[in-house]
């Protein structure tokens, strides 16, 4: 390992944004630590990323989250960048969401990353600093239909991120929040409403807002953003114009409801066709 190489830990690295980020950080000259529950996929990805390290991690288990940091330190001796990307997604009508649905998403999306971050901060302080990038979601501002457990947990994760930013002012540990938009990935959510496609909320229309909100971004684009943020930390970064536009629209209830209700109607139509 070259002295200048950073050690970058990426959660949710078994596909989608996490896998793309691992490849982008490796291309930047960093040593990447791949973390997720799916060891088989991690090993397949690691085989094509020289020098990468696989650490099987279940963020819903707090001890597993802690071991990710301790094992990284044992293998690499340092931790320079932590990318908190993993997410549990459950699709369900809001009136049918159970307490266990919320607990499942919160264990991974909030608590697991909270514990992981606390452990990372300890070792980063000893080394004089580090970067933590939390991949959030602007969906909680919009109120994405059928994704209540996910967007609720992401709202809490955003609050956690912003509290860290307020507190860690003199530690040389930089906390960045990143909001991706609609990303085309191969990650399948847990669905309580039957088999669904990733874009079941979306429908191409002629009006300006729908046209741009239904255009997906690639994980590779997001990965390049994450590398840039790790080199030059920012408080909040949106993945593109449409995401920034969505955050602005969310400030206006009538516009927000128009877009969100349109998504809900698209979903109902597609679900009715399946039945």
Q: Among residues 146, 150, 174, 238, which one is catalytic?
A: 150
Backbone dihedral region of 200: left (phi > 0), alpha (psi from -120 to 50 degrees) or beta?
Answer: alpha
Q: State how far the Cα of 149 lies from the Cα of 127, in Å rounded to an integer.
A: 37
Determine whether 238 is an active site residue: no
Q: Are strands 31-36 and 53-56 parallel, antiparallel or unpaired?
A: parallel
Active site residue ranges: 150
């Amino acid at each position: 390992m070259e002295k200048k190489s950073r050690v970058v830990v990426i959660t949710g690295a078994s596909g989608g944004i996490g896998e793309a980020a691992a490849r982008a950080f490796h291309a930047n000259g960093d040593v990447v630590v791949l973390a997720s529950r799916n060891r088989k996929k991690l090993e397949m990805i690691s085989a094509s990323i020289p020098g990468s390290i696989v650490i099987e991690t279940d963020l819903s288990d707090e001890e597993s989250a802690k071991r990710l940091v301790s094992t990284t330190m044992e293998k690499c001796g340092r931790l320079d960048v932590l990318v908190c990307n993993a997410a549990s997604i459950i699709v369900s009508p809001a009136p049918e969401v159970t307490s266990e649905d919320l607990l499942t998403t919160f264990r991974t999306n909030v608590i697991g990353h909270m514990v992981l971050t606390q452990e990372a901060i300890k070792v980063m302080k000893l080394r004089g600093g580090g970067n933590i990038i939390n991949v959030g979601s602007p969906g909680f501002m919009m109120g994405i239909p059928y994704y209540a457990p996910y967007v609720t947990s992401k709202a809490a994760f955003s609050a956690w991120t912003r509290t860290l930013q307020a507190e860690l002012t003199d530690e040389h540990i930089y906390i960045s929040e990143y909001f991706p938009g609609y990303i085309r990935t191969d990650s399948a959510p847990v669905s309580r409403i039957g088999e669904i496609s990733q874009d079941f909320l979306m429908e191409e229309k002629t009006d300006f807002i729908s046209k741009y909100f239904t255009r997906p971004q690639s994980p590779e684009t997001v990965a390049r953003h994450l590398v840039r943020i790790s080199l030059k930390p920012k408080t909040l970064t949106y993945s593109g114009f449409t995401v920034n536009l969505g955050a602005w629209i969310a400030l206006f209830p009538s516009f927000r409801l128009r877009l969100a209700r349109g998504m809900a109607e698209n979903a109902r139509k597609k679900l009715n066709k399946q039945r």
